[in-house]
Amino acid sequence: MLSLTIKVIVSSPNWLPMKNLIPFFLVVIAFFAFSDCYAASPTKKEILEFLKLQNKDHNVVLDFKERFGDRLTNVDFSGLDLGKVTFDGMIIENSSFDRAVFTSLTIKNSVVNNSTFYSTIIYKGHIVSSQLDGVSIIESDLNNTQIEKSELKNVRILKTHAPSLILDDSKLNSIIIRNSDILEAKFGRTVLAESEISGSDLSNMRMEDSKITDSRLTVSKLINAKMSKSTLTNSTLHGIELSGSHMRDTQIFSSEITNSDLHRSRLYNCHLEKVSMLNTDFGYASVEGTSFIKADFSSASLEGLHIGSATFSECCLCNFSSQNITIDSSAITHSSISNVKLYDSEIADTSLKDSSIANLSISNSGFLDTVLLDVNGKSIAIKHTQIDSLLLQGDFSDITIEDSQIVKSSLRNLKLQLLWLLHSHINNTQVQDGTISKSNFLANTFIDSSVDNLTIAKSSFTENNFVGTNVGNISFTKTLFTEKFIEGVSSKLAQMGAIVGLSNFEKLIASGTYDFTDVNYSNIDFSKIDLGKVNFKGAILRENIFSENKLHDVDLTKADLEGSTFHK
């Protein structure tokens, strides 16, 4: 088209006045051709010529767009000392920055695609309003680098050292970070999605107003990390060391924090929902004002954990043994507690409602102002524990309370089966409205307490002391007292249906009452009475003394005789 235009001009009869313009057009054509050559792909030699400008003045910032145009494709920067460089408003593709050294690198309003930074050193970096896609950063040093208002996608960072990295108002998608040190990094208003971090050290990281979604962090360090006003969703943290870390106003959804270390960490005003914390160490951590929904603490280490003003709903507190735990001003609802051993711990001003307990062992601990409502409990052992101002309501089976104190408490609407109350003190406590069956009370002291509207069946009392205890409306069925009472008390108990004294038990058998199946008559010396044809089938007869010549036709089929002795 250009040649046609020139031809028309020359053939025109008026061409002579314009003939001096021909050299001008040729210069313009040459200029554009020259420029296009640089825009396509400057050679390494041309880049070296450009770098000579810095030899004259080391403070010169090289602007590649000004010299080579807005596109660099298949450019080889490898091994070059590039000094101070700016890529502003450019597209860089399929280029190599391997072994290059930057005193400072600025990438602004630019796109970098499918390029490599291998063994690259950047003393100061700034990426702003740019996009990096398909970039590999391997065995490099990125010092004092700041990324803001940018998007990184399909970027690999391997065996790289990047201290004091700052990410602000940016999006990171499909990022892989492996075996790298990114110490004292700061994440602000940044999203990390569908990414993987493994074998890396992000200690002293600071994250604020940021999100991590659909990502996996494994075998890495986030020691002394701080997260605030951030969200973790659909992600996995496995084998992460988070000791000494702080999380404030942070939310975690549908994620896993497993086999990790949160030793001496802090959680303030956080929300964790559908989070699994399997085999995670919360030793001496502090949890304040935090809510847990459908969280799983299975096999977690909770030694020294402090929980304050926290809520647990639909959670699993299972399979752990811990000491020195303190819980105060907290609430647990619709949750499961099972296979737990707790000792040297304190729980105060805390409620457990609509929950289940199984295989729980508590020793040398304290409960103060604690409420248990509508709780189903099974296989619970409490030893050497102080229970003060407890409100208890629920259905319990196979409960052992030994060498403990229950003070100023209220037990109501209870269903207790297989209760073992041993060598304990019950003071100023009210028990009302409920049933107790197949239970054993041994060597307890009941002081200034009251019992009313209660049914006690197939149970036994031995060596107990009832001091100032008010007995209201109680119904006894096949319940045996071996204590000695004054006549008035014995008569009252008998009127309520109790069997008072072994001699009366022997008379009852002699009169033809033999059916004592499924009773719990334990810790009793039966050796001096004739048991005749008594039917103890399926009965619990632990730690008893029997005389073989007084058993006669006693039926002990399927009876529990653990610890019992038989004398001739």
Q: 295 vs 253, 402, 480, CA distance in Å? A: 10, 32, 46
H or E element: which one contains 67?
helix 64-68
Identify the CA nearest to 157 among candidates 95, 84, 165: 165
Q: How confident is the model at residue 276 (pLDDT cuts 50, 70, 90)?
A: very high
- Count of beta carbons in the 10 Å neighbourhood of residue 557: 11
Q: What is the mean pLDDT of residues 502-524?
A: 95
Is the CB of residue 379 less than 8 Å from the CB of residue 400? no
Q: How confident is the model at residue 40 (pLDDT cuts 50, 70, 90)?
A: low
Crossing angle of helices 2-11 and 22-40, in 10° steps, is: 170
Q: What is the pLDDT of residue 55?
A: 73
Estimate to the nearest angstrom the gap between the alpha carbon of 174 and the chain centroid: 25
In a 3-state reduction of DSSP, which class is residue 541? Answer: coil
Q: 190 vs 133, 152, 209, CA distance in Å? A: 17, 11, 7
Q: What is the pLDDT of residue 467?
A: 87
Q: What is the mean pLDDT of residues 155-167?
A: 98
Taking only Cα atoms into account, the Rg of the chain, rounded to an integer number of angstroms, comes to 40
Cβ contacts of residue 49 below 8 Å, gap of 6+?
none
89: DSSP letter: S
H or E element: which one contains 53?
helix 44-56
Cβ contacts of residue 401 below 8 Å, gap of 6+?
382, 383, 419, 420, 421, 422, 424
Cβ contacts of residue 161 below 8 Å, gap of 6+?
140, 141, 142, 143, 180, 181
For the stretch 390-423, pLDDT in tens is: 999 999 999 999 999 999 999 999 999 999 999 9
For the stretch 546-562, pLDDT in tens is: 999 898 889 999 999 99
Residue 175 has pLDDT above 50, yes or no: yes
Torsion of the alpha carbons at 462, 464, 469 and 470, rounded to the nearest 10: 0
Residue 23 corresponds to which tokens in the numbers above? 């050299």
User: How far is the first Cα of the chain from the last one, in angstroms, to the nearest whole number?
Assistant: 128
Residue 272 corresponds to which tokens in the numbers above? 């964790």
Is the CB of residue 241 less than 8 Å from the CB of residue 261? yes
Q: What is the mean pLDDT of residues 314-343?
A: 97
Q: What is the mean pLDDT of residues 16-27?
A: 46
E strand residue ranges, 440-536 = 440-442, 445-447, 450-457, 460-462, 465-467, 470-471, 474-477, 480-481, 499-500
Residue 22 corresponds to which tokens in the numbers above? 């021909």
Q: What is the pLDDT of residue 20?
A: 52
What is the spatial distance between Cα 85 and Cα 75, in angstroms, rounded to a whole number? 15
In a 3-state reduction of DSSP, which class is residue 548? Answer: helix
Is the CB of residue 403 less than 8 Å from the CB of residue 381? no
Q: Quick one: what percent of the chain has pLDDT higher than 70?
A: 93
Residue 284 corresponds to which tokens in the numbers above? 């001496």
Q: Write phi, then psi, for 56 (nearest 5 degrees).
A: -80, -35
For the stretch 77-117, pLDDT in tens is: 999 999 999 999 999 999 999 999 999 999 999 999 999 99
What is the spatial distance between Cα 472 and Cα 61, in angstroms, rounded to a whole number? 94
Residue 25 has pLDDT above 50, yes or no: no
What is the spatial distance between Cα 355 and Cα 88, in angstroms, rounded to a whole number? 62
Is the CB of residue 216 less than 8 Å from the CB of residue 197? yes
What is the spatial distance between Cα 486 and Cα 482, in angstroms, rounded to a whole number? 13
Domain boundaries defined on the chain: 2-38
pTM for this prediction: 0.88
Q: 438 vs 96, 222, 455, 457, 481, CA distance in Å? A: 81, 54, 12, 6, 13
The two beta strands, 470-471 and 450-457, are parallel
Q: How confident is the model at residue 6 (pLDDT cuts 50, 70, 90)?
A: very low
Judged by phi (left if over 0) then psi (alpha if -120 to 50, else beta), residue 30 lies in alpha
Identify the CA nearest to 178 among candidates 163, 162, 159: 159
Q: How confident is the model at residue 41 (pLDDT cuts 50, 70, 90)?
A: confident
Q: What is the mean pLDDT of residues 29-41?
A: 46
Strand pairing partners for 218?
Answer: 198, 238
Mean pLDDT over the full length of the chain:
92
Is the CB of residue 207 less than 8 Å from the CB of residue 226? yes
What is the spatial distance between Cα 396 and Cα 236, in angstroms, rounded to a whole number? 37
In a 3-state reduction of DSSP, which class is residue 549? Answer: helix
For the stretch 452-494, pLDDT in tens is: 999 999 999 999 999 888 989 999 999 999 998 888 889 999 9
Residue 155 has pLDDT above 50, yes or no: yes
For the stretch 284-319, pLDDT in tens is: 999 999 999 999 999 999 999 999 999 999 999 999
What is the spatial distance between Cα 159 and Cα 178, in angstroms, rounded to a whole number? 6
What is the spatial distance between Cα 134 and Cα 112, in angstroms, rounded to a whole number? 8
Residue 229 corresponds to which tokens in the numbers above? 């006003």
Is the CB of residue 308 less than 8 Å from the CB of residue 288? yes
Residue 123 corresponds to which tokens in the numbers above? 């003393």
Lowest mean per-residue pLDDT among 17-31, 180-194, 218-232, 527-541: 17-31
Q: How confident is the model at residue 13 (pLDDT cuts 50, 70, 90)?
A: very low
Residue 543 corresponds to which tokens in the numbers above? 């730690």
Identify the CA nearest to 133 among candidates 114, 149, 147, 118: 114
Q: Maximum CA pair distance of the chain? A: 150
Q: What is the pLDDT of residue 58?
A: 76
Q: What is the pLDDT of residue 190?
A: 98
Residue 5 has pLDDT above 50, yes or no: no
